[in-house]
Amino acid sequence: MSERRLRRTIGVLTLIGFAIATYLTIIHYSGDAPLCLASGGCEKVQSSEWAKLFGIPVAVIGLSGYVLIFISLFVPGESGRFLTATLAIVGFAFSAYLTYRELFDIKAICQWCVGNAVVMTVIAVFAAWMLIRGPDTEETDPDLAEA
């Protein structure tokens, strides 16, 4: 998969994650109960002590993270690949931490949070892959692409 295609794929996934985080942010500030297929799991997670970090709703932190990842996709070259991978891996680690809290402290599962964790995991995998594989051959030396 070309770097361009990886960036586009990460961009689409980032927009999906942004939509989830936006919904959870709106729910947080409106005080409404989130739509949840499981009986009360989402509401329990959203109202837990781990729903905020230093007084900031984790949904807002996630929203900010998705915006930063999306912006990083427009930074060219090695710096852009490194920035995207770093932000995505930090987002993955934060999602993993929150999933741990859901399972072992809150003892409830929020499908919105699971969806977010899955999206962030896939973004982190693609971003790491983009960083490790480096630039496309055509980008570094057009003469090599013709050989």
Question: For residue 69, what is the domain's CATH number?
Answer: 1.20.1440.130
- Averaged pLDDT for residues 22-46: 87
Domain annotation covers residue 29:
yes
Range of the domain at 103: 3-133
Q: How many domains does the chain have?
A: 1
- Averaged pLDDT for residues 44-62: 94
Q: How many other CB atoms are found less than 10 A from the CB of residue 121?
A: 17
Region for residue 33 given its phi and psi (left: phi exceeds 0; alpha: psi -120 to 50; beta: otherwise): beta
Domain annotation covers residue 42:
yes
Per-residue pLDDT at 137: 66
Domain annotation covers residue 141:
no
Q: What is the pLDDT of residues 65-97, one digit of tens each?
A: 999 999 999 999 999 999 999 999 999 999 999
Domain annotation covers residue 38:
yes
* Token pair belonging to 10: 């990460």
Domain annotation covers residue 138:
no
Where does the chain have alpha helices with state H? 3-30, 41-46, 58-72, 77-101, 111-133, 137-140, 142-146
Residue with tokens 């007084």: 55
Domain annotation covers residue 147:
no
